[in-house]
C-alpha cells in the first residue's frame, strides 16, 4: 500500500537536460506519446460510462425493471461523477497522472464487470455509483497534462483536439455495446467493455508520464519561450492543497462564473443527447432509427465545434478564451430556436441544425475548461477544472428527471423554452469575461503596478 501511495505522488524532477537538440527530440517524442495516450484513455472512459445506456432495453426485458428504476441508476452515476470530478480534481494536482488516470480506468472496468454479473437493483446502484466515482479520475489528469505539456499560445488547439475524444468515444459506444448485446445479451455489453478498459488502463500506466521536468526536460514555457510575462520567468514550485483550493479556486470569482455557466452548457448538451430522439419520434413522426441518424450529427458537430473553438481562441483572439465562449453560447440560442421552429419530418434540415447545435455547444463545453485552468493557476488546473466539472454535472443531472417533468407538464414547447433560456443565461454570464486575462497575466499586471 505504501508503494502504491508513493507511485501516486507527483513524479520528482530529474536534472535538466542541457543539450538543446536532445531537448527538442525528447519534447517531440513525449508530447506525441502523452497526447495519444490520454486521447485513447479518455475515449475508453466513455466506453464504461455509457455502456449501461445501451444495455437498458435488454435489461428491462430480462429483469423486469421499469424506466423509473433505471432512471435512478442514471442519476446516481451523474451525481457521483460530478462530485468525483471535484475531489479528483484536488487529487489530480497532487498526484502522478500516469497512475491516477490508469488505475481509475481499471476501476471503472471492474465496476462494469461486477454490474454485468449481477441481477440485484441494490448491487446495480452500488457499483454504478462507484463507476461514476471512478469516472472522475479521467478528466483531472488530462487537465494537468495539457497544462504542463502545451504552452498557452498553442493550448487551445491541442486541448480542442483532445476534446474530440469525447465524440469519438460517444460514436463508438453504441456500435461496440450494441454488437455485444446483440450476440451475447446485455451482460456482455457490460462485461466486454469492462475487460477492454482494464487492458487500456494498464496501457496508460505504461505510456503516460507526469510533467516535462519528471523526464529531465525544461518547463514548456521555457522550451517554447512562451512566457505570459517577462517578470514571471520564475522556477515552478509545488503548491499545498490549501493554497490550491482556497487561494486559487474557491476564492476566485472567475471560477464561480465559469462554473455556473458550465451548469447551463452541460444541461443543454445532456438534454440534446438524452431527449432529441424521443422528440423527433413523438413530435415529428420519425422512426427510432431515423431519429438516431439525425442525432448522430450532434457528435459530428461537436468535433468541428471543439476544433474550431480552440483554433479561433488561439489564432483570432490571441489565446483569450472569453470571446469564443460567449459567441458560441450566443449562436446556440439561434440554433436551438431554428431547430424548434422547423415543423414536420425534414431529415436534411434537422440533421444540419442538430449539427450546428453540436458545433456551438461543444465549443464552450471544451473551452470553459481551458479558461478555468488558465484563470486559476497552472498548479491548480486539475482542481479548477474538477470544481467546475462538478457544477457542470449538476446541470447534466438536471437534464434528467427535472427536465423530464417540465416536458411532461408543459410539452416540447416547455422543453425548448427551458433550453433556450439556459443558452441565454450562459451567454450573459460569459460576456463579462470577454477581456479577462490569465492568472499569470494578472499577476504580472499587479507586479507592474507596485
Inform me whether the pLDDT recorded for 227 exceeds 90: no
Q: Kindly state the average pLDDT of the residues 24-49.
A: 93
Higher pLDDT: 70 or 321? It is 321
User: Mean pLDDT over residues 8-32, rounded?
Assistant: 92
**Confidence category of residue 417, pLDDT binned at 50, 70, 90:** very high
pLDDT band at 400 (very low <50, low <70, confident <90, very high): confident
Q: Which of 369-378, 395-404, 433-442 has the lowest mean pLDDT?
A: 433-442
Q: Which of 35-39, 186-190, 197-201, 377-381 has the lowest mean pLDDT?
A: 377-381
Least confident span in 124-128, 147-151, 235-239:
235-239
Over residues 124-133, the pLDDT tens digits come to: 999 999 999 9
pLDDT, one tens digit per residue, over 308-337 is 998 898 889 888 888 999 999 999 999 999
* % pLDDT > 90, the chain: 39
pLDDT of residue 449: 47
Tell me which of 49-53, 282-286, 363-367, 401-405 is least confident: 49-53
Q: Which domains does the chain have, with CATH numbers?
A: 15-220 (1.20.1250.20), 241-443 (1.20.1250.20)
Residue 92 has pLDDT above 90, yes or no: no
Would you say the pTM of this structure is higher than 0.95? no
Q: What's the first-to-final CA gap in the chain, in angstroms? A: 49
Confidence of residue 444 (pLDDT cuts 50, 70, 90): very low
Amino acid at each position: 500500500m505504501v508503494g502504491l501511495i508513493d507511485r501516486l505522488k507527483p513524479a520528482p524532477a530529474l536534472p535538466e537536460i542541457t543539450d538543446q537538440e536532445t531537448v527538442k527530440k525528447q519534447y517531440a517524442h513525449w508530447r506525441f506519446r502523452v497526447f495519444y495516450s490520454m486521447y485513447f484513455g479518455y475515449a475508453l472512459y466513455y466506453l464504461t460510462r455509457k455502456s449501461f445506456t445501451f444495455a437498458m432495453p435488454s435489461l428491462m426485458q430480462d429483469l423486469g425493471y421499469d424506466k423509473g428504476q433505471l432512471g435512478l441508476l442514471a442519476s446516481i452515476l451523474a451525481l457521483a461523477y460530478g462530485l468525483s470530478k471535484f475531489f479528483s480534481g484536488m487529487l489530480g494536482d497532487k498526484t502522478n497522472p500516469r497512475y491516477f488516470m490508469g488505475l481509475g480506468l481499471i476501476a471503472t472496468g471492474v465496476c462494469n464487470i461486477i454490474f454485468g454479473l449481477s441481477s440485484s437493483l441494490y448491487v446495480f446502484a452500488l457499483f454504478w455509483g462507484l463507476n461514476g466515482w471512478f469516472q472522475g479520475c479521467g478528466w483531472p489528469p488530462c487537465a494537468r497534462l495539457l497544462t504542463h505539456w502545451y504552452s498557452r499560445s498553442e493550448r487551445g488547439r491541442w486541448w480542442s483536439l483532445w476534446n474530440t475524444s469525447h465524440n469519438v468515444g460517444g460514436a463508438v459506444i453504441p456500435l461496440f455495446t450494441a454488437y455485444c448485446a446483440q450476440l451475447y445479451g446485455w451482460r456482455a455489453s457490460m462485461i466486454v467493455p469492462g475487460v477492454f478498459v482494464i487492458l487500456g488502463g494498464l496501457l496508460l500506466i505504461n505510456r503516460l508520464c507526469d510533467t516535462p521536468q519528471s523526464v529531465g526536460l525544461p518547463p514548456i514555457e521555457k522550451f517554447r519561450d512562451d512566457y505570459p510575462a517577462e517578470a514571471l520567468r520564475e522556477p515552478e514550485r509545488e503548491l499545498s492543497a490549501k493554497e490550491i483550493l482556497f487561494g486559487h479556486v474557491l476564492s476566485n470569482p472567475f471560477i464561480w462564473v465559469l462554473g455556473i455557466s458550465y451548469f447551463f452548457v452541460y444541461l443543454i448538451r445532456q438534454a440534446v443527447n438524452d431527449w432529441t430522439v424521443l422528440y423527433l419520434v413523438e413530435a415529428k413522426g420519425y422512426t427510432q432509427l431515423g431519429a438516431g441518424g439525425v442525432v448522430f450529427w450532434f457528435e459530428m458537430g461537436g468535433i468541428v465545434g471543439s476544433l474550431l473553438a480552440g483554433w479561433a481562441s488561439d489564432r483570432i483572439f490571441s489565446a483569450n478564451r472569453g470571446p469564443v465562449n460567449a459567441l458560441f453560447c450566443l449562436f446556440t440560442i439561434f440554433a436551438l430556436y431554428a431547430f424548434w421552429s422547423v415543423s414536420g419530418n425534414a431529415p436534411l434540415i434537422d440533421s444540419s441544425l442538430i449539427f450546428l447545435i453540436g458545433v456551438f455547444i461543444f465549443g464552450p463545453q471544451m473551452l470553459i475548461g481551458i479558461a478555468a485552468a488558465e484563470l486559476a493557476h497552472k498548479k491548480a488546473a486539475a482542481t479548477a477544472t474538477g470544481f467546475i466539472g462538478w457544477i457542470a454535472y449538476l446541470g447534466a443531472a438536471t437534464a434528467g428527471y427535472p427536465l423530464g417533468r417540465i416536458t411532461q407538464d408543459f410539452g416540447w414547447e416547455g422543453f425548448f423554452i427551458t433550453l433556450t433560456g439556459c443558452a441565454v443565461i450562459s451567454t450573459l454570464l460569459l460576456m463579462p469575461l470577454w477581456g479577462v486575462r490569465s492568472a499569470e497575466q494578472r499577476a504580472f499586471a499587479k507586479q507592474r503596478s507596485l
